[in-house]
Amino acid sequence: MDINEIIKPENLVYKKTPILKDNILHYCPGCSHGVVHKIIAEVIEEMNIQEKTIGVSPVGCSVFAYNYLDIDWQQAAHGRAPALATAIKRLMPEKYVFTYQGDGDLASIGTAEIMHACNRGENIVVIFINNAIYGMTGGQMAPTTLLGQVTATTPYGRKAELNGYPLKITELIAQLEGTCYVTRQSVQNPASVRKAKKAIRKAFENSQMHKGTSFVEIVGTCNSGWKIPPVQANKWMEENMFPFYPLGDMKDR
């Protein structure tokens, strides 16, 4: 069969969204970031909002997100993405504005920023990647690190009496009056990817309807930080992270 026959539109099963650039991902094999980038790009394409979307990336593994999604970007200082997104959205209310943040950025140095932005009900989308570790800087303990979890700074496992308890920041944010949609999803298999994509689309739709802040947590893996292969990392996440960070909607107003 001629190749031109194969690639006719009626024969096309799947093609990469043009919102995703052709740059090679810098993320480690098995990392959840690449999958989340893909579904964000697909949502932007399907909603036909490429020219209207502005992403804000701070510091962490996701700092180079602008290399992969063909939209307008602003880079923020560590933890300050919600403040910058607030300014952008207020100056350009017609835009779709989202932050893309890891747990070290959002739940540690940026805790005040995210809490107050959500409490004000800024009409932005927050996409929060929780892999329970500082992935970029060497695998140190993060606010979301589980009790007993081994990291570079907790070589014998996190202990409550020494290191405090893991922070369920998404549950805290769900209680704030300014949030309209708060959910926790994952991307470790096709079914979970579909649910996460649906959640991200809903979040974008909410922000443009001026409902308040939409907050989407994605529980992800960091196999290089966890020191286990990708397949085992998914299993470890399901067995250890999901019981403490259960998936599903927490708020839908």
Average pLDDT, integer, range 208-219: 96
Residue 3 banded pLDDT, cuts 50, 70, 90? low
Tally of structural domains, the chain: 1
What are the pLDDT digits (tens) for 169-186? 999 999 999 999 999 999
pLDDT exceeds 80 at position 12 = no
Where residue 193 sits, what CATH number does that domain have?
3.40.50.970
Look up the domain containing 68 and give its range: 27-252
Q: Residue 174 is encoded by which pair of tokens?
A: 């769900």
Distance between CA atoms of residues 207 and 204, nearest Å: 5
Q: Residue 150 is encoded by which pair of tokens?
A: 């081994």
The model's pTM is 0.94
pLDDT at site 6: 62
C-alpha count within 13 angstroms, C-beta hemisphere, residue 49: 21
What are the pLDDT digits (tens) for 94-136? 999 999 999 989 999 999 999 999 999 999 999 999 999 998 8
Residue 118 lies in a domain: yes
Residue 94 lies in a domain: yes
Residue 2 banded pLDDT, cuts 50, 70, 90? low
